[in-house]
A and B are shown apart, each in its own frame.
Chain A
Amino acid sequence: MEKIKYEKPVINKISAGVPSKFGLPVKQKIISDIDGIKVSTLMEKYGSPLFVISERTIREVFAEAKRAFETRYPKVQFAWSYKTNYMDAVCSIYHDEGSWAEVVSGFEFEKALSNGVNGSQIIFNGPDKSETDLTMAIEHNACIHIDHFDELYLLIEISRKINKKARVAIRVNLDAGIYPIWDRFGFNYENGDAWNAINRIMLAENLELIGLHTHIGTYIMVSSAYAIAASKLANLYMAVHRKFDYWLKYIDLGGGFASKNTLKGAYMPGTETCPSFDEYAEAISNALISSEIPHENLPVLFLETGRALIDDAGFLLTTVLANKRLNSGRRSTVIDAGVNLLFTSFWYNLGVYPSKEMSGGAEESTIYGPLCMNIDVVRDAIVFPHVNTGDQLVIERVGAYNMTQSMQFITYRPNMVLIDMEGKTHIIRKKESLETFKQQELNPKR
């Protein structure tokens, strides 16, 4: 007698009164390949877990953002936010697309230079700029975005000492009608600090004020906040012209555009709620074009968006290590990628999907990472199919921050692989080994 196909025995409690109000799909999404390459093939070749980044997605999303802004505003320049993902292979793609570099440390500055970026096309942000960093930035004609008065005076000192003019902008913090108001970076607009800083710079012989910068926050879900920010910078831009008869070169609206990831606690998925590039572009362009700046003197619009450009291009492939029933009866699954690789799992409900069709039903589960740490929770509640040990899963939208913020802890960091435009795979960062650590560690002889 031919045997019947086996299906795992399942019992589900019937809960009334919690239907999906929005009719969100209940069909399990599957990611079986990335850019045409099977997930199983990638993992067989490069191991598990594995970071994968798609060049095709990077270029497509960038083209979408560029189109959204360039069709609405005459002068647009993107600068790739290094901290979001500073793998050389990734930065090179953005530079190839015409992006400048936006860096926030001496280390990132050096990385941008080593990636072949001309110093004058590096935007130097951040509160941590040492004398050595600032000297390097002045020598390379970088655009230094001043964060505080101490930095301003240090710059005056250094530029006198080396007798070279520094090209500077100020970072402005402002009330864009959203909460929280980021006031720890830059000079405040509303209390007049920003205007004071501008006046001080205009009087300094060796400082050339070339722009105004703001970065109103991160994962900003209302595009109108950017319109408010752009209007306030436009006011400062005009005030500089009126007082000093001088046109600044650019206005930099920073980054902070939301990616399509879903924030923890959000009622609706990010794919439904986050503004598109078109909406951000419409808000910013309208605010600048309808400001009192004459059209012939409109500044170049700089954008430092990182997260929204790269998140979709990154995937983390992982393997199921075990399934457990918790004392509460809840199903839990342990995978071989933990929060040390997924920094963004602390604030996103990351999308975790099987790489093949799973039989049987789905059940609310918790997904744990492999670390022997209670905090290692990748998803605390997800309706997930009954996966088995050894099954391969894909975590999507991890291109921003996770690769650069991944932390070596308890186990080695995995390979990072790029799939190029021709569908070829390349290791862009090698898996760590004991040797990686031996090279850095010193054990004093006793």
Chain B
Amino acid sequence: MKITDEVRISDNGFVFNSKTGDSFNLNPTGLELIKLIAEGKDFNAIRDIFLARYDMEELRFEKDFYEFCALIKHHQITTVENPLDFK
């Protein structure tokens, strides 16, 4: 998963996608998550960081992570890989 080149993320949680013209707001955890994704970290690495930092259960994070990923993919913030390329 890769953040699209046209997307800019500010430190206060504002996201602008120049490809679509859409802008977004992130809450603090959303901002933290998208920054880790932008750094190229995979799910396992991000989960470990969140579990160490936040009072939460592993499964809860997994659910929220994948929902968040589906949303940023929907908003074309991340590059859409071929969904039918069943690697």
Contact = CB atoms under 8 A, between A and B. Distances in A.
Instruction: Indicate the size class of the contact surface on chain A.
Output: 10 to 19
B46 to A, nearest CB: 10
Interface stretch (A8-16, A128-136, A182-190, A211-219): A8-16
Nearest to B55: A3
Interface string B18-56: 000011111111101110000000000000001001111
Interface string A228-261: 0000000000000000000000000000000000
A162 interface: no
A11 B29 contact: no
Nearest to B54: A6
A421 B19 CA distance: 62
A10 B67 CA distance: 9
Contacts of A328: 74
A9 B33 contact: yes
B33 A4 contact: no
A11 B25 contact: yes
Contacts of A7: 27-29
A281 to B, nearest CB: 49
Given A6-B56, A329-B74, A13 B27 contact: no
Interface in A385-429: none
Contacts of B77: 11
Contacts of A3: 53-56
Contacts of A270: none
A325 B54 contact: no
A4 B30 contact: no
A11 B23 contact: no
Contacts of A8: 29, 64
A325 B70 contact: yes
A10 B24 CA distance: 10
A5 B28 CA distance: 12
Contacts of B30: 9-11
B25 A12 contact: yes
B71 interface: yes
Contact of A325 (B26, B53, B67): B67
B71 A11 contact: yes
A5 B65 CA distance: 16
Contacts of A13: 22-24, 75
A225 B63 CA distance: 54
Contacts of B34: 11
Contacts of B72: 11
Contacts of B75: 11, 13, 329
A98 interface: no
Interface in B48-87: 50, 53-56, 60-61, 64-65, 67-68, 70-72, 74-75, 77
A360 B64 CA distance: 12
Contacts of B67: 323, 325
A325 B71 contact: yes
A361 interface: yes
Given A11-B15, A329-B71, A329-B74, A4 B55 contact: yes
Contacts of B64: 8-9
Given A10-B29, A11-B26, 13 more contacts: A3-B54, A3-B56, A4-B55, A5-B54, A6-B29, A6-B54, A6-B56, A10-B68, A11-B30, A11-B75, A14-B25, A325-B67, A328-B74
Interface of B: 15, 22-30, 32-34, 50, 53-56, 60-61, 64-65, 67-68, 70-72, 74-75, 77
21 contacts: A3-B54, A3-B55, A3-B56, A4-B53, A4-B55, A6-B29, A6-B50, A6-B54, A9-B26, A9-B30, A9-B32, A10-B27, A10-B29, A10-B68, A11-B25, A11-B26, A13-B23, A13-B75, A14-B22, A329-B74, A329-B75
